[in-house]
Chains A and B, each alone.
Chain A
């Protein structure tokens, strides 16, 4: 695409892209490390994740302020308008992803020293790997303005939801088996729920990329596979 007649305008949009990309990097790292910290019960690492969130908040505020200035100064049109709107939306989703990762890290601190059913932890790790892959892919799609890749991410979100539903069942079973598991399992349950929500924000970003590239909004039903709201467990007699 040719440059703007105003090179300062090019620089402004470039700054927006750079900010979003830096935020993406921070969010990915936070999710990876929060999960590692949970699996390995590594409280110093969890502490580092909690600390990293501040950077994400600063970047999000900066992105939003820059985008507002661009709207005021340039009254962007067409692709430039979509770039500006996409930066605002995506930085919001990434900031939320950071919050959710931070919340997982806080739970690592809370459960340190407690019994840990390894099978479930592996399940959470697996969910996190899926979410992380999705996040990476959607950030690439964003940077490359690749609508196909974004739609792929969008359609795969159901897998994370399905995994969450099955983890939810397992956790309930553990809690019923031995009430001493309840504290830990509850924290794991929230960690899994946080990852599921990270998947939702990733899907939001995929929708934003679709808008960025095509100018159209995805209005169809989201691929949803979270059935945990309907789950029940029969007590064994």
Chain B
């Protein structure tokens, strides 16, 4: 009994929120970095979407931090480092000679692995940036910026009664949120985070991750993490780096369920490359 059967062609289900279709905030084209004559990054080209979290993953030494530092020209502070290629934020070349690097680093803030508050009061830690950038015209305005920044960094409730105490007296997780408040205080558009939770316990880590998820409403965030579950939790796009090269970049969902490149798959599944 041979029946002819009409079948529908299989089609692929639509994906979830992956930041596609969002405007591009940072365009990176053929970015190379040398430390002396050692090449640390090879022709990296990647678009960073606006108001979304992009995660960089990859084995230690693959160039994640090096690339992150390109986007606010922090590599300029390393004498042996040399950067080539084009990086544009909102269409503006960040290597343009007319561009003020101090301004750039306010627009593109950075949070490091180890919380590094100044040896000053909580208030001063947050007020320092706005003050040197002349963002407040009065003490009241400065107070408002400090309060707003601490609120956005989800630290206000814990800090409001101890603003004059040293930032270094806070717990590790609170110190990291203080550093985020400090970055926010100068009204940045982009926040670069280099393993911001790797020195924190699971509860402090969860609070930082929650915070990152809220911050993406207002900021473009790029986060380096060696914790893949963390990348899966907080980001919409994920980029995998290997030996100084960008191997694959995709929606976070696709990256962790069905990466295209064998090197990505071997790395994220914990296999030998």
Interface residues of A (CB under 8 A from B): 1-6, 9, 74-82, 126, 151, 154-156, 158-159, 162-163, 166, 210, 214-223, 225
In whole angstroms, what is the CA distance A156 to B2 when docked?
Answer: 11
- Please name 5 pairs of A and B residues whose Cβ atoms are closer than 8 Å in the assembled complex, sorted by A: A77-B269, A151-B10, A214-B258, A215-B258, A216-B13
Q: Which residues of chain B have a CB within 8 Å of any CB of chain A?
A: 1-3, 5-14, 228-229, 232, 254, 256-259, 264-266, 268-273
A74 to B229, CA, bound (A): 11
How near does chain B come to A141, taking the closest CB pair, in angstroms? 14
**Complex contact A225–B259 (CB within 8 A):** no
Extra inter-chain contacts (15) besides given A217-B13, A225-B5, CB under 8 Å: A2-B271, A5-B272, A77-B256, A78-B265, A78-B269, A79-B269, A82-B258, A155-B5, A156-B5, A159-B2, A159-B3, A163-B1, A166-B1, A215-B258, A225-B3
Q: CA of A79 to CA of B256 in the docked complex: distance in angstroms?
A: 9
Q: Contacting B256 at CB < 8 Å: which of A81, A155, A216?
A: A81
Knowing A3-B271, A81-B257, A215-B254, the reply to whether A223 touches B8 (Cβ < 8 A) is: yes
Establish whether residues B3 and A215, one from each chain, have CB atoms under 8 Å apart when the complex forms: no
Contacts of B1 in A (CB 8 A): 126, 163, 166
Which B residues touch A5, using CB under 8 A?
Answer: 270-272
Taking CB atoms, residues of chain A closer than 8 Å to B254 are 215
Which of A5, A154, A163 gathers the greatest number of chain B CB atoms within 10 Å? A5
Are A3 and B10 CB-contacts (below 8 A) given A75-B229, A126-B1? no
The CA-CA distance from A192 to B14 in the complex, in Å, is 36
Q: A4-B269, A81-B256, A81-B257 are in contact. Are A158 and B8 (CB under 8 A)?
A: no
Chain A residues with Cβ under 8 A from B13's Cβ? 216-219
Q: Give chain B residues whose Cβ lies under 8 Å from the Cβ of A219.
A: 10-14
CA of A217 to CA of B3 in the docked complex: distance in angstroms? 27
Q: B6, A220: Cβ atoms under 8 Å?
A: no
- In whole angstroms, how far apart are the Cα atoms of A41 and B109 in the complex? 79
Which residues of chain A come closer than 8 Å to B256, judged between CB atoms?
Answer: 77-78, 81
Chain A's nearest CB lies how many Å from the CB of B148? Answer: 37
Complex-state Cα separation, A210 to B129, whole angstroms: 54
Contact A6 B12 (CB under 8 A): no
Interface of B, secondary structure class, is loop
Q: Residue on A with the closest CB to B259?
A: A78
Q: Which one, B5, B12, B273, contacts A217 given CB within 8 A?
A: B12
Nearest CB of chain A from residue B253's CB, rounded to whole Å: 9
Please, which residues of chain B bring their CB within 8 A of the CB of A154? 10
A79 near B8 (CB under 8 angstroms)?
no
The answer to whether residues A2 and B272 also contact, given A79-B265, A126-B1 and a CB cut-off of 8 A, is yes
Q: Which of B5, B12, B270 contacts A162 (CB under 8 A)?
A: B5
Taking a contact as CB atoms under 8 Å apart, the answer to whether B3 and A162 are in contact is yes
| Residues in A whose Cβ lies below 8 Å from that of B264 | 78
Complex Cα distance, B266 from A215, in Å, reads 16
B5, A78: Cβ atoms under 8 Å? no
Report yes or no: B3 in contact with A158, Cβ–Cβ below 8 A. Answer: yes
Which of B2, B10, B232, B268 contacts A210, CB < 8 Å?
B10
A158's nearest neighbour on chain B, judged by CB, is: B5
Measured CB to CB, the nearest residue on chain B to A154 is B10
Closest B residue to A207 using CB positions: B10
How distant is the Cα of A220 from the Cα of B7 in the complex, in angstroms?
Answer: 9
Query: Roughly how many angstroms separate A9 CA and B272 CA in the complex, as a whole number?
Result: 13
Question: How far apart are the CA atoms of A2 and B272 in the complex, in Å?
Answer: 6
Contact B268 A77 (CB under 8 A): yes
Q: Which residues of chain B are near A6, meaning CB under 8 Å?
A: 270
Q: Which residue of A lies closest to B3 (CB)?
A: A162
Closest Cβ of chain A to B85, distance in Å, is: 30
**Which residue of B has the minimal Cβ distance to A225?**
B5
Q: How far is the CB of A215 from chain B (nearest CB, A)?
A: 2
Q: Which residues of B contact A4 (CB under 8 A)?
A: 269-271
Could you say which residues of chain B place their CB within 8 Å of the CB of A163? 1, 3
> How far, in Å, is B216 (CB) from chain A's closest CB?
23
B270→A223 contact, CB < 8 A: no
Q: CA separation between A163 and B269, bound complex, in Å? A: 44
